[in-house]
Chains A and B, each alone.
Chain A
Amino acid sequence: MSIQAPRAPSSWQFRTPKQTLLRWLGWFWLVALTVFCWQVMNENTIWAFVSDAPDQAADIGDRMFPPAWGYINNLWEPLWDTINIATLGTLLGILIAVPVAFLAATNTTPSTRFVRPLALLIIVASRSINSLIWALLLVAIIGPGLLAGIVAIGLRSIGFIAKLLYEAIEEIDDKQVEAVRATGASGAQVIDYAVVPQILPAFWGISVFRWDINIRESTILGLVGAGGLGIQLNASLSTLAWNQVAMIFIVILGTVVISEWVSAKVREAVL
């Protein structure tokens, strides 16, 4: 008796025909959605302006060069303000974010049913709204100036710091907590001696990382009146002084590069 060899297909295929069909349908929908969005988005686009753009770009580039080097003397004070907005805003954010993080972490929260959702809501609301929008609101509420910028940066930082910090708290080593608790420590002492030393490096890393982001964001907060370099930028833009704008861009770029370097060094030392 001979054994019938199973018939192998003549060519190998990665996916079954059904999978292939589903994939094609998925891609088709994606393309169709994109084309539809493109049509809706460009309903009111004036294409004459778009085709004119290279000329505009050349014109602006021409006016930007050479940058107004002397203008830098007007920029030292706004730069100092910008750094202060970022630093004080980060401090404000940390002050509020630390308790929120402890309330949001499952292993330190007093109640998972009531307090934790509230803390998570604070985190989500703070994270969803950009600091420029916070600044827009705060300038309308407490008036233009540094204070609005600091509070805006602080409010935006709460969500970021609290989210990363509560994730760090949830990942701590439970044995150390148990060991400290076994000595008869109270709740506050457990947090002080078992939780805090474990999250301290993460805390500094997160704070410096956020400070770096805040320096970037505070350079433009002045566009809506919240102090710092953005105010000068707004003034130069509205008078079409493009060479001053170029100088401001250079200062912003320099500040961002330095703050990124500082933050990278500190994180390297801490982590």
Chain B
Amino acid sequence: MAEEPVAQSYPTRWKRPPVLLTHPLWRKIILFGGLVYLVLALQTVEVDWQRVYLGLERGWRFVQGFLVPDFTSRWNDIYAGLMESLTMTVTSTVAGILISVPIGIGAARNLAPAPVYLACRGIITVSRSFQEVIIAILLVAMFGFGPFAGFLTLAFATIGFLSKLLAEEIEDCDRSQIEAIRATGASWWQVVNYAVQPQVMPRLVGLSLYRLDINFRESAVIGIVGAGGIGATLNTAIDRYEYDSAGAVLIIIIAIVLVVEYSSSYIRRWVQ
């Protein structure tokens, strides 16, 4: 006797399986922990609503200042700050590149011997672990107020950024080209010059332009701790409650960042 085939019963509802955290227990633990943290964290935020309410009127004045910026009445201060920021950006980027190229080569495992490699990696780690603002505080204390301390800060920060990425790029180089040049009897310098340099040059130009962009943005910040530049102008404008001048400074910063970003992406496309 043949048995009647039983139709397999399909569920009538489908529940989407989770993409991440597929383990149900861990999912619950992590969600619960997140909720507990959120409650604890929100409790530490003390909000003086009256102060916020008073501030709304100021915030509105700031928005108005941003929409109708005043470029003229503080133009001399803005111009001086802008010049400091721009010159600081250019000089610190150039100096940073000049120092970070040898360090980057030294930090590439396929070119440098072990002691040089470790020393260069150490320099990169030190430069990357502290923020620009903290370095600026120290350098202002040593070198006095003004753009020179800012120049040193940005150059120092550039080293960590550029050497690390350059070293990674050199390590990713095509080995066969290096071997081909070495097979002709080239010395170490000649290998660097004829096998590595042509391979990393487009990337180095791209990274340098990207760093130029970052250095300008940072130059607007380190002025707050006294290292010169347009940040100092902005700080003064806000301290004086001159929101229309502050709005003008912010608009100038955004415009320059946009110009640098677009022109550098254009140059990068042209180089690569």
A interface residues, Cβ below 8 angstroms from B: 30, 33-34, 37-38, 40-42, 44-46, 49-50, 53, 56-57, 60, 80-81, 84, 87-88, 124-125, 127-130, 132-133, 136-137, 140-143, 145-147, 150, 193, 197, 200-201, 204, 216-217, 219-220, 223-224, 237, 249, 252-253, 256-257, 270
With a CB–CB cut-off of 8 A, which chain A residues contact B156? none
CA distance A60 to B17 in the complex (A): 58
List A contacts of B254 (CB < 8 A).
124-125, 128-129
A37 and B142 contacting across the interface, CB-CB below 8 Å? no
Q: Give bound CA distance, A142 to B55, whole Å.
A: 5
B133, A223: Cβ atoms closer than 8 Å: yes
* Pick from A34, A41, A201, A249: contact of B147, CB under 8 Å: A41
Give the nearest-CB partner of B143 in chain A: A53
B47 touching A147 by the CB < 8 A rule? yes
Nearest Cβ on chain A to B223's Cβ, whole angstroms: 10
Please indicate the chain B residues that have their CB under 8 angstroms from the CB of A125 in the complex: 254
- Given A60-B141, A128-B254, CB of A84 within 8 Å of CB of B94: no
Nearest CB in chain B: distance from A215 CB, A = 11
- Can you list, as one digit per residue, whether each of B65-105 has a CB less than 8 Å from chain A (1) or not (0)? 00000000000000000011011101100100000000000
Which of B116-124, B166-174, B214-222 contacts its partner? B214-222
Can you give 25 A-B contacts (C-beta < 8 A)? A30-B94, A37-B87, A41-B88, A50-B144, A53-B143, A60-B141, A80-B44, A81-B44, A84-B41, A88-B42, A125-B254, A127-B257, A128-B257, A128-B258, A132-B133, A136-B224, A136-B234, A136-B238, A140-B58, A142-B52, A142-B59, A145-B47, A200-B20, A219-B131, A220-B133
B218 close to A34 (CB less than 8 A): no
Expressed in whole angstroms, the minimum distance between the Cβ of B90 and any Cβ of chain A is: 4
- Given the known inter-chain contacts A141-B62, A201-B20, please indicate yes or no for A60 contacting B258, CB distance below 8 A: no
CA–CA, A125 and B261, complex, Å: 13
Contact A237 B137 (CB under 8 A): yes
B266 CB to closest chain A CB (Å) equals 16
A30→B42 CA distance, assembly (Å): 52
Nearest CB in chain B to that of A30: its residue: B94
Partner of A41 from the list B91, B143, B235, B241 (CB cut-off 8 Å) is B91
- Whether B209 sits at the interface, judged by CB under 8 Å, is no
In angstroms, Cα B129 to Cα A38, docked, is 28
Within 8 Å of chain A (Cβ to Cβ): is B138? yes
Shortest Cβ distance from residue B133 to the other chain A in the assembled complex, whole angstroms: 5
Q: Which of A40, A46, A88 contacts B87 (CB 8 A)?
A: A40
Pairwise interchain contact A133-B221, C-beta atoms closer than 8 A: yes
- How many whole Å from A190's CB to the nearest CB in chain B? 14
Q: How far is the CB of B24 from chain A (nearest CB, A)?
A: 17
Which residues of A sit under 8 angstroms from B220, Cβ to Cβ?
130, 133
B residues in contact with A147, CB < 8 Å = 45, 47, 52
Known A147-B45, A200-B19; 10 more pairs at CB < 8 Å = A37-B91, A41-B151, A56-B141, A56-B142, A84-B44, A125-B254, A141-B58, A150-B45, A193-B16, A201-B20
B210 interface residue, CB < 8 Å from A? no
Total inter-chain residue pairs, C-beta < 8 Å: 137
- Residues in A with CB closer than 8 Å to B37 are 87
Interface residues of B in 190-226 (CB under 8 A from A): 217-218, 220-221, 224-225
Report yes or no: A252 in contact with B134, Cβ–Cβ below 8 A.
yes
Interface size on B, residues (CB 8 A): 57
Closest A residue to B55 by beta carbon equals: A142
| Chain B residues with CB below 8 A from A200, complex form | 19-20
Asked if A133 meets B234 with Cβ closer than 8 Å, knowing A45-B146, A142-B59, the reply is yes
CB of B186 closer than 8 Å to a CB of A: no
Q: Does B51 have its Cβ within 8 Å of any Cβ on chain A? A: yes
CB atoms of A40 and B224 under 8 A apart: no
Q: Is B148 a contact partner of A45 (Cβ separation < 8 A)?
A: yes
Give, as a whole number of angstroms, the nearest-CB distance from A133 to chain B.
Answer: 6
Which residue of chain A has the shortest Cβ distance to B228 in the bound complex? A41
Residue of B nearest to A51 (CB): B143
Q: List residues of chain A with CB within 8 A of the CB of B148.
A: 41-42, 45, 50
Asked if B48 is at the interface (CB within 8 A of a chain A CB), the reply is yes
A124: chain B residues at CB < 8 Å are: 254, 257-258
**A145 lies within 8 A of B83 (CB):** no
Quick check: B231 and A37 within 8 Å, CB to CB?
Answer: no
Task: Say whether A41 contacts B55, CB under 8 Å.
Answer: no
